[in-house]
């Protein structure tokens, strides 16, 4: 099974973390491949190549210009309202990407990587500690090969949340104006 995790940047010039989580069906072994992408066309091209079961995106995927219940309920984990200028830029890009994925009939969800990391007890102040914890949990691949950027680590948490969603170990926070999937506690 393949799940893609995306830590979408508001501006395509900035780094977007992209993770492919591969879960072996027989053994359950999990490994990740990460990279940095920029444009929506780069992201879509990679998704088409990989053909994942699910795409988990760390960005607002619905934007109406109004505050969302899901963001309010996840504020304790650091969620920001989509009405803030920087978040609005991200929400507009996320909604556009969601429209493209929907037109392609692809399965995707909105996640919040920071909340996922905190709920799973893996949120540390430094990326090296987070990466060590992921390796200790048995996550193979790029986690073992090199130091990953914050964007890549957030993409890994997006993918892990997607996996938990597929195996029924997640919950949905929000309403018709936006739903964020987080690990079930």
CATH code, domain with 77? 3.30.420.10
pTM: 0.95
More confident residue, 176 or 56: 56
- Residue 15 and residue 64 in contact, taking contact as beta carbons nearer than 8 Å: no
Checking if the pLDDT of 8 tops 90, the result is yes
Tally of structural domains, the chain: 1
Domain with 90 in it: 2-183
Q: Rounded mean pLDDT of 154-166?
A: 98
126-148: pLDDT as tens digits: 667 899 999 999 999 999 999 99
User: pLDDT band at 96, cuts 50/70/90?
Assistant: very high
Checking if the pLDDT of 13 tops 90, the result is yes
Q: What is the pLDDT of residue 125?
A: 63
Checking if the pLDDT of 86 tops 90, the result is no
Query: What strands lie across the sheet with 140-141, from one edge to the other?
Result: 140-141, 30-37, 16-23, 2-7, 54-58, 108-111, 178-183, 170-175
């Amino acid at each position: 099974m393949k799940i893609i995790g995306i830590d979408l940047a508001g501006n395509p010039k900035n780094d977007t973390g992209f993770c492919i989580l591969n879960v072996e069906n027989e053994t359950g072994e999990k490994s990740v491949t990460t990279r940095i992408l920029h444009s929506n066309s780069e992201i879509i091209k990679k998704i088409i190549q990989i053909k994942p079961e699910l795409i988990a995106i760390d960005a607002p995927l619905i934007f109406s210009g109004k505050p969302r219940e899901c963001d309010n309920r996840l504020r304790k984990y650091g969620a920001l309202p989509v009405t803030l200028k920087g978040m609005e830029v991200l929400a507009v890009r996320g909604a556009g990407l969601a429209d493209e994925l929907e037109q392609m009939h692809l399965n995707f969800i909105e996640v919040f990587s920071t909340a996922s990391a905190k709920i799973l007890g893996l949120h540390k102040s430094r990326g090296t500690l987070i990466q060590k914890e992921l390796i200790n949990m048995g996550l193979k691949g790029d986690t073992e090969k090199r130091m990953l950027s914050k964007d890549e680590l957030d993409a890994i948490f997006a993918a892990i949340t997607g996996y938990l969603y597929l195996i029924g170990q997640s919950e949905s926070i929000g309403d018709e104006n936006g739903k964020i999937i987080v690990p079930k506690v």
